[in-house]
């Protein structure tokens, strides 16, 4: 049985662990924070049971996934035997590099090290390891159990073998890979961050309410979710970090909307904190 480690048990890490566990992999979910790991365990358990109830998963698959999932706060224990490690910690280059240096020491030489970054450079991360040919970005989407796309971003030194293996892993999860050459924000985040930022600017300028901006995009432009709803789902802190990186690398067009910065300063992080552009506590 192939073994996969997911580093970071936040919004994305939980979903990625669920996707691999239900596809028959042994999965170690790692986080520094024991409380976060405990919460992730409860949420994955609930999602597994709900998926059985709604007919998306067989009872057997659910039981096997529960058996094959390990929640482990020690990175070495979590990663040393794995064939693939996916990092899903905060969107901060210094943190990602620190973790990849550790993983390079801990992991088997043949293991692939992937980052779930939304915007950042797998080339820069890979260059800090002794295996840049085995470093790649594997960009999942939120919520992972529903979203079919994985963007596979090839760094300068990423080998064809690594890209092909990541595409095989993607297929084995029932998802579709799109290969992208490295450039800040890839295809999806570059486009999506701009749409979201424009919606935030409109809200700040008083063009329309959050609800009406989202409604207009859904009913008029056929977006399945409004840009402000989507930003709340992503997490406003994560979105702000994405915007800051795109602003630093691509320039003025990506200057983060001041309203986004203000919300993050206030602790309004979207769905995960209970309040963002919408209030989830009173719903
Ligand atoms: P999050 O804030 O929900 O979770 C990050 C987790 O990383 C936290 O649980 C934190 O405790 C943990 N962490 C921090 N340092 C760690 C360390 N040294 N070792 C282990 N765990 C550590 O963030 P998220 O929204 O899940 O985003 C994670 C990554 O995925 C980011 O790079 C983000 O850009 C990317 N991403 C996010 C989304 C989204 O919709 N939220 C979508 C695609 C990609």
Task: Dump pLDDT digits (tens) for 116-126.
Answer: 999 999 999 99
Tell me the mean pLDDT in the region 17-25. 98
Pocket test for ligand 1, best of 5, 6, 10 (most atoms within 8 A of CB): 10
Instruction: Measure Cα distances from 54 to 63, 66, 80, 208 in Å.
Output: 16, 18, 36, 37
Mean pLDDT, rounded, of the chain? 97
pLDDT number for residue 282: 78
User: According to CATH, where is 1.10.1040.50 located in the chain?
Assistant: 188-265
pLDDT digits 0-9 by tens, 33-77: 999 999 999 999 999 999 999 999 999 999 999 999 999 999 999
Tell me the mean pLDDT in the region 128-144. 98
pLDDT digits 0-9 by tens, 69-96: 999 999 999 999 999 999 999 999 999 9
User: According to CATH, where is 3.40.50.720 located in the chain?
Assistant: 3-181
Name every protein residue with a CB atom under 6 angstroms from any ligand 1 atom.
Answer: 7-13, 30-33, 36, 88-91, 95, 99, 116-118, 139-142, 234-235, 238, 242
Residue 146 scores a pLDDT above 80:
yes
Pocket test for ligand 1, best of 7, 9, 12 (most atoms within 8 A of CB): 12
pLDDT number for residue 1: 82
pLDDT number for residue 201: 98
pLDDT digits 0-9 by tens, 148-188: 999 999 999 999 999 999 999 999 999 999 999 999 999 99
Return the CATH fold of 188-265.
1.10.1040
The answer regarding whether domain 3-181 maps to CATH 3.40.50.10800 reads no
Residue nearest atom 9 of ligand 1, based on CA coordinates: 10
Question: 59 near 52, Cβ under 8 Å?
Answer: yes
Residue 271 scores a pLDDT above 90:
yes
Question: 54 near 66, Cβ under 8 Å?
Answer: no
Residue 283 scores a pLDDT above 80:
no
pLDDT number for residue 269: 98
pLDDT number for residue 176: 98
pLDDT digits 0-9 by tens, 210-268: 999 999 999 999 999 999 999 999 999 999 999 999 999 999 999 999 999 999 999 99
């Amino acid at each position: 049985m192939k073994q996969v480690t997911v580093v970071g048990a936040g919004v994305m890490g939980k979903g990625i662990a669920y996707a691999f566990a239900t596809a028959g992999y042994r999965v170690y979910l790692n986080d520094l924070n024991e409380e976060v790991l405990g919460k992730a365990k409860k949420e994955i358990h609930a999602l597994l049971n709900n998926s059985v109830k709604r007919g998306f998963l067989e009872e057997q698959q659910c039981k096997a996934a529960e058996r094959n999932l390990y929640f482990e706060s020690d990175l070495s224990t979590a990663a040393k035997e794995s064939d693939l490690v996916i990092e899903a910690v905060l969107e901060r280059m210094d943190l990602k590099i620190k973790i990849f240096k550790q993983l390079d020491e801990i992991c088997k030489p043949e293991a692939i090290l992937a980052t779930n970054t939304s915007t950042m450079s797998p080339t820069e991360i890979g260059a800090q390891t002794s295996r840049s040919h085995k470093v790649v970005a594997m960009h999942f989407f939120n919520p992972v159990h529903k979203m079919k796309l994985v963007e596979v971003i090839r760094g300068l030194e990423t080998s064809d073998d690594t890209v092909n293996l990541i595409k095989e892993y993607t297929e084995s999860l029932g998802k579709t890979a799109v290969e992208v050459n490295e450039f800040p924000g890839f295809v999806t985040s570059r486009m999506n961050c701009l749409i979201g930022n424009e919606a935030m600017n409109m809200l700040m300028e008083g063009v329309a309410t959050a609800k009406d901006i989202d409604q207009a995009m859904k009913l008029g432009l056929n977006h399945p979710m409004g840009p402000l709803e989507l930003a709340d789902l992503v997490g406003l802190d994560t979105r702000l970090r994405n915007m800051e990186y795109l602003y630093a690398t691509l320039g003025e067009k990506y200057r983060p909307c001041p309203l986004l910065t203000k919300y993050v300063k206030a602790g309004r992080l979207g769905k995960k904190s209970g309040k963002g552009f919408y209030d989830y506590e009173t719903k």
